[in-house]
Chain A
Amino acid sequence: MIIPIGPVHPALKEPLRLKLHTIGERVIDAEIDYGYVYRGIEKIMEGKTWQKSVYLAERVCGICSYIQTQTFTETFEKIAGEEVPLRAQFLRVITNELDRIQSHLLANSTYFKTIEHETLFMYMLSMREMIMDAIELLTGNRVHMAWNVVGGVRLDAKEVHLKSIVDILDKFESQYPKYPQMFENGPLLGLRSKEVGVMSKEDAIKARAAGPIARASQVIGDLRIDKPVYRDHFDFKVIWRDEGDNFARNMNRFDEVTESIKIIRQAIENLPEGNIRKKIDIPAGYADNRNEAPRGEVAYMIETNGNLIKNISIRTPSIMNIDACVKYMFKDVATVADALATYASVDPCIACTERVVIVDEKSGKTCEFDGIWNVKSVDLK
């Protein structure tokens, strides 16, 4: 039997169609349909100047919007071959980690809602609110911060802001540790989460899973350790687990929150003096850049002629995780309710995942998109 779920369904945050193949209630396979919220942001950016497009890149995702602008600006700094001042890099690290904390807490809260544990769901959201306050204090706005620009950041952090961020983190840390313990030791939570939706290490590698979802399946990799500013100035460890089930994915996110708090504290302590912004002249050229997003891995490929954006292609964080979920985690799930919980545990983001589908006009079939260089070879009319 095939059970269709979505595109509009109370358990899904965003529109997507899941078709679950079931025997009785046991889910053995699944199919997935995208295409309900495609917005065409890349096409809007083409032909606009790069100064404007920073603010459009922010609108790709509504939750992890910060990392999109950071990757965008870093790509342009790569084209120019320049580095931003160290103080700006540290401020970017602080905001990035604050954004990661709030994204992880929101992802976990969604999972707890799908397994009907309303208490933890509310706790998670109330904890997230503190972090949102910290972001608002530093950058001015809660989600779309407009804080990054090519060459640095727009506003300097004053002593008052840093002090109140530390205060917020103190308060956060005093309350936070009991929630992972609740999840770890709760017997009913364990029954719903442990050994449900298991993805092995081989499957995770085959599916190109990234981020906390891959690390929960023992694929140990974090793009942050390759970034110069993280590598040289911060001491943190990469969290990973070996179970590969819903429990591991959520615990992985819980543990990464504490690591992020450690990074923010180090950044505030060692914040160097200096400029926050520098003038960068952009030559014509092409560059690509990857970054560790809260949900996975984001990649930008940009070709510019020095003033306008000629071609741009974005790979958003959660597309490979959703595919991994559908292909490998739904192989043997006991109930349909567990299947939905598994889907929520991979932290899907549909609005930012929806990319263009290329259809060959002659044959009428979808064809593969092999990089922005060959876009002209496909007839897009």
Chain B
Amino acid sequence: MSSVIWYLYEFARKGWIEKFAGAATEREIVESPDRFRDFPEVIRELCIACGACTAACPSPAAIKLVRTKDKDSENGEGITYPVINTDSCIRCGFCAEVCPTDPKTLRTGENHLIREKFTILPAEKMFVIDDYLCIRCKKCMDACKVEGAIVEEDGSPMIDPSRCVACEKCAKTCPVNGAIKGIYISNVEGQKEVINLVVHALEDFIEARQDELNELQPEEVVELEFPAAEVMEQAREILLDEDITRDIIERVTDRLKLRIITWDDSKCKQCRLCVDECPTGTISHDEEKGVVRDSNKCLRCTTCYQTCPFGVAGFYIARFLLTETELKEGNILVTVKPSLLPV
């Protein structure tokens, strides 16, 4: 009985009710240590929308860039800033480490302090300015928002690879086609293999049509179409990536200029002048077969074409263009014309 009275007294007390109603901890129960790496904290105003954090994130769908609409002006774009999805963020702090702004847009504990000395951005491409094509307009320097990524050296802009975050903004603003090149860093051997594959395939394709070329008059042009599907298929097996393969083949064919040597045996008078002149031993003389040319060794230096008095060797120049057709693979347009070198 006495305990019931005590409980009644206790519950009716004013202080108890106050405490019960306003129950809350006064401070954080767990104190996080100095170096604790929590979800990254985002400061929206500092973001330059370079995309380095989204490229660096090892977890899929943990971070993405969001753009707000600006209501005041009609066509104005609002600010762009990264948003962290806390359900899939693994709190490695890598996005904060690669963030190029100063001060940093993303912050996680102490870990974000270390960037400057190390190239740690896991980018697919490296950007290089071609000094020969550059017209020194310096539009890329205005477009680049990363401080110190494009520096001026002797009047021409240069990209500092340790600071570049590969956002491609400079390449998009550049008025000269091909002056700023994005080079794929990974699998250089594979890229070489693909380039060789394409060039050899094109050479074989054109040299198989020697009869057609031999009948060409000067200032006449032959247009051929090379179906690219098979080469694309082989290249994809080497590089394992559809987009990179297409990009590389496009760039190979865009600026490629091939010299084609044809060989007409019926005109040959066995004078053997070319055998002595050929620098690689491509052309050899045999007692039984006469003068023989082995096209695998040929450098396309055209010495034989300039030496031969009977016009056995022909010399043509081919240019290429990759076209988009309804098929996904597309064709390579080939234009061949006789060279204008004097004989």
Contact = CB atoms under 8 A, between A and B. Distances in A.
Interface of A: 47-53, 55-56, 58-59, 136-141, 144, 146, 149, 151, 154-155, 277, 279, 284, 305-308
Contact of A140 (B109, B121, B188, B189): B109
Contacts of A277: 114, 117-118
Interface stretch (B31-39, B131-139, B248-256): B31-39
Contacts of A146: 37, 91-94, 111
Contacts of A151: 118
A48 B58 contact: yes
B233 interface: no
Contacts, number: 82
B117 A279 contact: yes
Which of A144, A151, A308 has the most chain B CB atoms closer than 10 A to its own CB?
A308
B299 interface: no
A279 B119 contact: yes
Contacts of A48: 58, 122
B164 interface: no
A2 to B, nearest CB: 41
Contacts of A149: 120
B190 interface: yes
A144 B38 CA distance: 12
A307 B122 contact: yes
B56 interface: yes
A340 to B, nearest CB: 33
Nearest to B187: A305
A52 B37 contact: no
Contacts of B188: 284, 306
Contact of A155 (B110, B121, B185, B187): B110
Contacts of B144: none
Contacts of B56: 51-52
B90 A144 contact: yes
B58 A53 contact: yes
A307 B185 CA distance: 7
B57 interface: yes
Given A137-B35, A154-B97, A284-B189, 6 more contacts: A55-B94, A140-B33, A140-B37, A140-B109, A155-B110, A307-B185
Contacts of B185: 306-307
A151 B119 CA distance: 11
B111 A140 contact: yes
Given A55-B92, A155-B111, A141 B186 contact: no
Contacts of A58: 92
B57 A52 contact: yes
A139 B34 CA distance: 10
A50 B57 CA distance: 12
17 contacts: A51-B94, A52-B56, A137-B35, A139-B35, A141-B37, A146-B91, A146-B94, A146-B111, A149-B120, A154-B114, A155-B114, A279-B117, A279-B119, A305-B187, A306-B185, A307-B124, A308-B186
A-B residue pairs, 6 tightest by C-beta: A307-B186, A49-B122, A52-B58, A140-B35, A55-B92, A305-B187
B96 to A, nearest CB: 11
Nearest to B118: A279
Contacts of A140: 33, 35-37, 109-111
Contacts of A52: 56-58, 94, 122
A140 B96 CA distance: 15
A155 B33 CA distance: 14
A58 B36 CA distance: 17
Contacts of A139: 35
Contacts of B110: 140, 155
Contact of B186 (A53, A155, A306): A306
A308 B118 contact: no
Contacts of A137: 33, 35
A154 B92 CA distance: 11
Contacts of A138: 35
B111 A136 contact: no
B243 to A, nearest CB: 13
Nearest to B185: A307
Contacts of A306: 185-188
B156 to A, nearest CB: 26
A277 B111 CA distance: 13
B58 A308 contact: no
A155 B94 contact: no
A51 B120 contact: yes
